[in-house]
Structure 1
Amino acid sequence: MASITFKDLPTVVLRTYQVLRIGNNIHDKELDFCLDDKSVAKLHATLTRSEKGIFLVNESRNGCVSLNGQCFSGPVLITYRDAINGLVKLRFGRVEATLRVSGSLGG
């Protein structure tokens, strides 16, 4: 199982092949998480759970996405090995999130 939590927003469980869109465009009804922060692009990142793990893609041109404190620009595969005590720390711009993983995510 995998779920993501942002401060002051409800936790969302990631289902296999479900794509979560993260950004700050309040007019985009397709965003799963609309974050009220200027450091987050209109479409900042996508998260997709697959059988191999969770794909996190930085969709912004200039925005930062980090995984356990390390920024990256392209897609990254998150597996259970990336979790520390079942948690993966994510950051989208200046907004922090926690990805909770339990059991096998593959890889």
Structure 2
Amino acid sequence: MRENGFDLQLYVVEIRKIAAAHQSGLSLLEAKRQVDSTVQHMRINLRDDKPYQARQWSTLLDALKAYNRNTVDPRWAKVINHANFRIKSRLNTVIYYRKRLSGQQ
């Protein structure tokens, strides 16, 4: 998952660590803050190339799908679902700006 010096696996592991910490007693509010911080950190580290950003956000979503099954602990699922929500928001923003920059409406 390393492309152009950007290692997406680090973010997958970080989100999984936060989910595990919430399962072990970290408050949901703090877990969500940490997920938001991780997603923000990834956004800052991505290049300005919108198609590249869209690929990275999509790849991250796909990677997290493997860790959100119906058999997981509900506390784990809440954190992973929150991460998915934030990542989808970033992906939709990138798609919007790609369309806007290309002149499409």
TM range (shorter): under 0.3
Higher helix share: 2
Higher strand share: 1
Q: Which has the larger radius of gyration?
A: 2
